[in-house]
Structure 1
């Protein structure tokens, strides 16, 4: 499909009664599509998608439209939302350790590139600390500097590892053995299929230990 078809198809998945904080509705999207104002229509659809849960197809179509328009940041965000629907999402208040106290000296890219390890209280078979991998998206900021604080969104690689995590929990971010930052969980949404993994001594994939 071309950009117009993708955006029009995605718009049909938005309930007509849905509205943003600025009272933007899908009818506004249709007005912009009528004049081939694709980038504006895409932006409005992203806003509408942030306000109410919409199906995976919606975000897949927006991602494809953004790629055709060569809007890299928008495409990355739409693909990220697809990942959230598939694997779940954890919002947290993250504070990075300052450069003087941590190995990292450079800022973290905010658009979902980094997939750090997280100490969420799981243990390895030997009883030591184990970590779970989750991608990181920084809300409203292109970068997060060492020592800074921001609200972040995490997409877990293995959602079942996070079943015991709840709001208010403190979790540590690792890029190596040292703690790179500490986050307080604000919200957690896991897919219904995120069931606890059975322990097995044969054929299982262990949770990585911190090394």
Structure 2
């Protein structure tokens, strides 16, 4: 299916009453499509996908359109959101350790979910060592998180079931080596019923 067909299909999946921030609706997306403004229409549909409980197939269609348009970050975001539909949303406020401290990063964390650090949720092994779990990290509203910085992130755990006990306000730590690389305060946890 071509880009226009994919975007029209996605627009059709959005309930008529749904509006994104700023009041944009599928009417706006369709108008941009009619004027061959595909990237703007895609952006609106991504925003609308955040404003209602979109199914995984909605994000698949948008990812396919973004791929055909060569929009790698948007495609990656649509794949990420598809994963969240299936496995849940975990958002946190992450404070990285300063770069000169033990455990501190000297390079920025890339934004689009490529880093897979280890996380300590509070569990310990049989010998009393911290039990660490893998989760990919997506930096929200930025292309990267600089060393020592603070920002909102989304986490995609390798084993989501282990993360179900987290609640807003819980504090977890990020590890790339033995010292702590960052401290994250959970701000949102939403798991789909019966999954994880």
Q: TM-score range by the shorter chain?
A: over 0.9
Task: Write the deviation string for residues 107-162 of structure 1: whole angstroms up to 9, x where unpaired.
Answer: 10011111111100122243421011111111111111111000111111111101
2:41 corresponds to: 41
2:96–2:104 CA contact under 8 A, matched in 1? no
CA distance in structure 2 between the aligned counterparts of 1:95 and 1:194, rounded to whole angstroms: 29
Unpaired segments of 5 or more residues in structure 1?
196-211
- Shift in Å at residue 84 of structure 1? 1.0
CA distance in structure 1 between the aligned counterparts of 2:105 and 2:72, rounded to whole angstroms: 26
CA distance in structure 1 between the aligned counterparts of 2:188 and 2:11, rounded to whole angstroms: 27
Unpaired segments of 5 or more residues in structure 2?
none
CA distance in structure 2 between the aligned counterparts of 1:62 and 1:25, rounded to whole angstroms: 16
Report SS of the residue matched to 1:120: strand
Report SS of the residue matched to 1:5: helix
Residue 189 (structure 2) pairs with residue 161 (structure 1): no
- Shift in Å at residue 103 of structure 1? 4.6
1:94 corresponds to: 94
1:202 corresponds to: none
2:125 corresponds to: 124
The number of aligned residues is 195
Task: Write the deviation string for residues 155-179 of structure 1: whole angstroms up to 9, x where unpaired.
Answer: 1111110122111001000112110
TM-score by length of 2: 0.95
TM-score by length of 1: 0.88
2:191 corresponds to: 190
1:88–1:156 CA contact under 8 A, matched in 2? no
Residue 82 (structure 2) pairs with residue 82 (structure 1): yes
- Shift in Å at residue 193 of structure 1? 3.1
2:60–2:79 CA contact under 8 A, matched in 1? yes
2:137–2:155 CA contact under 8 A, matched in 1? yes
CA distance in structure 2 between the aligned counterparts of 1:177 and 1:192, rounded to whole angstroms: 35
1:3 corresponds to: 3
What's the RMSD between the two structures over aligned residues?
1.3
Distance change >3 Å, CA 13–CA 160, structure 1 → 2: same
CA distance in structure 2 between the aligned counterparts of 1:29 and 1:159, rounded to whole angstroms: 34
Task: Write the deviation string for residues 93-113 of structure 1: whole angstroms up to 9, x where unpaired.
Answer: 100001101252111001111
Higher helix residue share: 2
**Quick check: 185-194 or 4-13, which moved more?**
185-194
